[in-house]
């Protein structure tokens, strides 16, 4: 099935190994003229951060989209894009009543449990962003979104929000508040688990930790 939300073409797939891999292969064999997204409720070999898997469960929400870098505000740096998309998506879910929050740099949490995440890359001035969100309860290790949603309505609001060209300055003002929640957690840097307790958030969304600047793009 194909849907159109303003400039975004959305293609629904019944089942796929990974929406992100599917998007990458599609871009290799098709001319990219306008933003496009692939969506499914079932994927078998999803990709998480640091090359980990994120398969989820049938009924969860998985989607990946491609958009020209020039379609984003000028103050959104390449290194900031993953946080930028993450906070926009979080804002949409909050509009529907969710208490979701963003653990730096791009993991969705509900209270103290991860319920999803975002990966973003750039190739030939095209951002490729993949988002996964748990909608179905499977185990006590991971959480599940605290509201019922209609995925296509959520995606419509999300993609229209991207088109509205919200500045990085505005997003960063929200990130500053959100970041304090992350300080009781760890992040992975070069395969090492590092506490965020003493991390300093910088204006581009990166952090300074142990005298090293760490970016969020992944």
pLDDT of the residue at 50:
45
Mean pLDDT of the chain: 90
Pairing of strands 107-110, 207-209: unpaired
- The helix-helix angle for 168-182 and 81-95 (nearest 10°) equals 80
Mean pLDDT of 180-191: 87
Topology of the domain comprising 2-166: BirA Bifunctional Protein; domain 2 (3.30.930)
The confidence score (pLDDT) of residue 184 equals 92
The whole-model pTM stands at 0.92
What confidence tens digit (pLDDT) does each residue in 132-176 have? 999 998 878 899 999 999 999 999 999 999 999 999 999 999 999
Mean pLDDT of 177-192: 87
Q: Which two tokens stand for residue 88?
A: 């926009």
- Band (pLDDT 50/70/90 cuts) for residue 53 is low
Question: What is the greatest pairwise CA distance in the chain?
Answer: 50
Rounded to an integer, the average pLDDT of 37-56 is 70
For tokens 């969506």, the residue is 39
Q: Does the pLDDT value for residue 55 go beyond 80?
A: no
Q: How many CB atoms lie within 10 A of CB 79?
A: 18
Q: How far is the C-alpha of 29 from the C-alpha of 25, rounded, in Å?
A: 7
pLDDT per residue as tens digits for the range 106-132? 999 999 999 999 999 999 999 999 999
């Amino acid at each position: 099935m194909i849907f159109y939300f303003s400039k975004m073409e959305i293609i629904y797939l019944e089942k796929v190994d990974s929406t992100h891999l599917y998007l990458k292969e599609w871009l290799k064999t098709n001319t990219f003229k306008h933003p496009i997204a692939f969506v499914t409720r079932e994927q078998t070999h999803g990709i998480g951060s640091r090359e980990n898997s994120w398969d989820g469960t049938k009924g969860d929400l998985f989607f990946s989209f491609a958009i020209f870098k020039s379609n984003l505000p000028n103050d959104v740096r390449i290194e900031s894009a993953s946080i930028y998309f993450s906070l926009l998506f979080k804002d949409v879910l909050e509009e529907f009543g969710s208490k979701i929050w963003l653990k730096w740099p791009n993991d969705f949490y509900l209270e103290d449990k991860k319920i999803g995440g975002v990966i973003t890359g750039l190739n030939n001035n095209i951002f490729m962003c993949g988002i996964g969100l748990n909608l179905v309860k499977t185990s006590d290790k991971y959480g599940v979104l605290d509201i019922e949603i209609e995925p296509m309505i959520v995606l419509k609001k999300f993609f229209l929000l991207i088109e509205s060209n919200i500045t990085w300055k505005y997003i960063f003002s929200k990130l500053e508040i959100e970041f304090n929640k992350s300080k009781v957690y760890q992040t992975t840097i070069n395969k090492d688990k590092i506490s965020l307790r003493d991390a300093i958030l910088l204006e581009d969304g990166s952090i300074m930790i142990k005298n090293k600047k760490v970016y969020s793009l992944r």
